[in-house]
Amino acid sequence: MGLSDKALQICRENYKKNCGRCPIRMECIYPIGPGKEAFERWRDNVNAAAENVAP
């Protein structure tokens, strides 16, 4: 499973235009350590941050 539809939508709306003001940026840019578990933790954090953004 990858990023949620909402996370991808937020990214599409902000990437290259105003990534610095993206509401999920702090989770998105967080360094991912090696391994599947680290990726899954990053993905879950980005998806959770996206869910907290008002529609």
Write down the domain spans for the chain.
Answer: 5-51
Helices 5-14, 36-51: crossing angle, 10 deg rounding: 80
* Phi and psi angles of residue 4, each rounded to the nearest 5 degrees, phi first: -70, 160
Flag whether pLDDT at 55 surpasses 80. no
Flag whether pLDDT at 43 surpasses 90. yes
Q: What is the mean pLDDT of the chain?
A: 93
Q: Quick check: 28 and 9 in contact, CB under 8 A?
A: no
- Say what the pLDDT of residue 48 is: 97
